[in-house]
A and B are shown apart, each in its own frame.
Chain A
């Protein structure tokens, strides 16, 4: 009996392990960030617009003066009550209003279900009142949504979102998009789900970070087993607007790894 059970388990374990390993291969990129450090020789690169020149020229003198200082940090803990952010109270009120509106809608819905036939003109009037109420509730809901959107946009910090779209040729899909800026290299692997979505005309977000509000130059290249490593990298310049969400869309529809300028199309917009 035991032997039979062991045999059954053995038979089951083989397909199961295959299934797990196939799952691993298919979805290598699970959103986890793996950071590696590589040491390279720095290329001397002078700034386009020299800044803080006096400090750089006299750094020995200034640092010697600073070396004579001693800093002391004092922390004072107070029990003073802090003012609540009034938006928290507003959010609670909004939630209560939404719940009340939902109750009203449920009650009205029950009433409508009960009414099988319009028996009189009076009931027609009631129906009109009911429709007016629904419109009013919808308008209030719209107002609440606008309020939330306005609040969210007002607190927007400078951020950059990079999107890719336009993959149409299955045989020419790169495995990774590589974004290089100064000394930072971000390699974003396209998951099987993303590839599938892109091939069906979808858009994939590959980057979303807070950035400095300035002009950024990303060198975009692609990696893949199918000759992508030799493709010419493309420099893409994007000016991140202060306190706005900047979207950079990379259109890969004309991408050709064999061409010198690989045909990468870009679009920038702000929100």
Chain B
């Protein structure tokens, strides 16, 4: 009897604490911007190949409205090894490291580029927000690459933000990675 007097308040306290704590756990992965995971990926890549250079990156999990994701993928290319290796970073650690499996000799990305947050803001303002609102769309991919998506300035690096919708063709917004300004958009 005396035990139950103590046990019931303890259980009530635990239940109320669990309720107010919400669904998140301490172990939940923390979202981060693309730039924030770069150092970890670079360290890993340099231990794989001393001449490794970042050539491409994209989100490995859904990008949130603030340009963060809980996992980003970074692709490095080694001229000595003649192949590329990808690193998936989550919670400041390498979650997956794997060779790409096909030839991908892309030009190296520069050391500095605007972060995913700034690129997303620019894309949303230009066309992304409207596309999402009017067509029930969503941002599916953010990728950073040099040369491939800017015909006028092939030396420049660009973010490409790919929006998809069930009813409309895909919207691609290309953002200059040096300035954070939208260069072009296209559908399909």
Contacts and interface: CB of A to CB of B under 8 A. Distances in A.
Interface of A: 47-55, 59, 62-63, 65-66, 69, 71, 157-158, 210-215, 242-243
Contacts of B86: 51-52
A51 to B, nearest CB: 4
Interface stretch (B11-19, B98-106, B113-121, B176-184): B98-106
A54 B162 contact: yes
A53 B57 CA distance: 11
Given A52-B75, A55-B100, 8 more contacts: A47-B96, A49-B60, A51-B86, A51-B98, A62-B148, A63-B104, A69-B147, A158-B44
B58 A55 contact: yes
Interface stretch (B1-9, B87-95, B127-135): B87-95
Contacts of B71: 49, 51
The interface residues of chain A, by DSSP majority, are classed as loop
Contacts of A52: 56, 58, 60, 73, 75, 86, 88, 100
B185 interface: no
Contact of A158 (B47, B140, B141, B148): B47
Interface in B61-99: 71, 73, 75, 86-88, 90, 93-98
A54 B106 CA distance: 15
Contacts of B147: 65-66, 69
B93 A214 contact: yes
A214 B88 CA distance: 10
B43 A51 contact: no
Contacts of A53: 58, 60
For this complex, into which size category does the number of interface residues on chain B fall? 35 or more
A212 B94 contact: yes
Nearest to A216: B97
A49 B97 contact: no
Contacts of B175: none
A55 B55 CA distance: 12
A54 B43 contact: no
Contacts of A243: 43
Given A49-B71, A52-B58, A52-B60, A212 B105 contact: no
A48 B43 contact: no
B71 to A, nearest CB: 7
B34 interface: no
Contacts of B104: 55, 59, 63, 66
B86 to A, nearest CB: 5
Interface in B20-57: 40, 43-44, 47-48, 56
Contacts of A65: 147-149
B97 A214 contact: yes
12 contacts: A51-B60, A51-B73, A52-B60, A55-B143, A62-B148, A63-B103, A65-B148, A65-B149, A157-B47, A213-B43, A213-B47, A243-B43
B171 interface: no
Contacts of A63: 103-104
A213 B93 contact: yes
A55 B56 contact: yes
A55 B103 CA distance: 12
Contacts of B58: 52-55
Contact of B141 (A49, A54, A210, A213): A54
A54 B154 contact: no
B107 interface: yes
Contacts of A55: 56, 58, 75, 100, 104, 143
A262 B90 CA distance: 34
B123 interface: no
A256 B162 CA distance: 56
Most buried by B among A65, A158, A210: A65
